[in-house]
């Protein structure tokens, strides 16, 4: 008789367990979203430095160095012009002053051409630097986009696995309701 009572109680318990309302896939998805939210709160991801900031900083230094080199080259031309003007004979009389002024103007014209040539010599370097910077920024943006796409794909895969496990485990609505009410990750994991 005792054995019969135990079997009866076990059958009734199984009947109740089988009749317990199962959670819908939408409810399980909401529970998974809550799980992800609680995991992020419990284990915040470290801040990821934007690679564009580092690239811009690196190229700003390279640009500064190139501008400094260009300024030094132009200063050297200016110094050479000043020496050439100082080498002109001192003018005494109107004709000599006019000749000196003409010679100084010719030197200015000649050295302006040298300055332009020196400046143009740096143009390919500036263009190359700008192209390298643009390429580096594009590569960084592509890498960031790929990482985001990979993370999204992994999140979708994890969500599908969670949903499959919930269906296989026959997760009840009561458990999902408990999980949705959880304020902490530990509370979420305690739900039965």
Residue 24 DSSP label: P
Cβ neighbors of 80 (< 8 A, separation 6 or more) are 111, 114
Domain ranges across the chain: 22-190
Compute the distance between CA of residue 158 and CA of residue 151 in angstroms, rounded to an integer: 10
pLDDT of residue 13: 52
CA-nearest of 151, 144, 141, 167 to 40 is 151
Confidence of residue 190 (pLDDT cuts 50, 70, 90): confident
Between residues 62 and 102, which one has the greater pLDDT?
62
Cβ neighbors of 6 (< 8 A, separation 6 or more) are none
Average pLDDT for residues 129-146, to the nearest whole number? Answer: 90
| 12: pLDDT strictly greater than 70 | no
Average pLDDT for residues 124-128, to the nearest whole number? Answer: 89
Confidence of residue 131 (pLDDT cuts 50, 70, 90): very high
Give me the percent of the chain exceeding a pLDDT of 90.
7
93: left (phi over 0), alpha (psi -120 to 50) or beta: left
């Amino acid at each position: 008789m005792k054995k019969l009572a135990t079997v009866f109680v076990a059958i009734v318990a199984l009947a109740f367990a089988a009749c317990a309302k199962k959670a819908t896939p939408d409810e399980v998805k909401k529970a998974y979203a809550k799980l992800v939210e609680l995991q992020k709160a419990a284990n915040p991801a470290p801040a990821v430095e934007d690679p564009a900031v580092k690239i811009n900083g690196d190229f700003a230094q390279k640009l500064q160095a190139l501008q400094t080199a260009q300024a030094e080259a132009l200063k050297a031309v200016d110094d050479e012009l000043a020496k050439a003007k100082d080498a002109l004979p001192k003018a005494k009389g109107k004709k000599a002053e006019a000749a000196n002024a003409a010679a100084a103007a010719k030197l200015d014209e000649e050295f302006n051409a040298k300055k332009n040539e020196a400046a143009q010599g740096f143009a390919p370097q500036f263009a190359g630097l700008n192209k390298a910077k643009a390429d580096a920024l594009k590569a960084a943006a592509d890498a960031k986009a790929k990482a985001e796409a990979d993370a999204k794909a992994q999140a979708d895969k994890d969500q599908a696995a969670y949903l499959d496990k919930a269906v296989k485990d026959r997760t009840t609505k009561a458990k999902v309701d408990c999980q949705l009410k959880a304020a902490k990750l530990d509370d979420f994991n305690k739900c039965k």
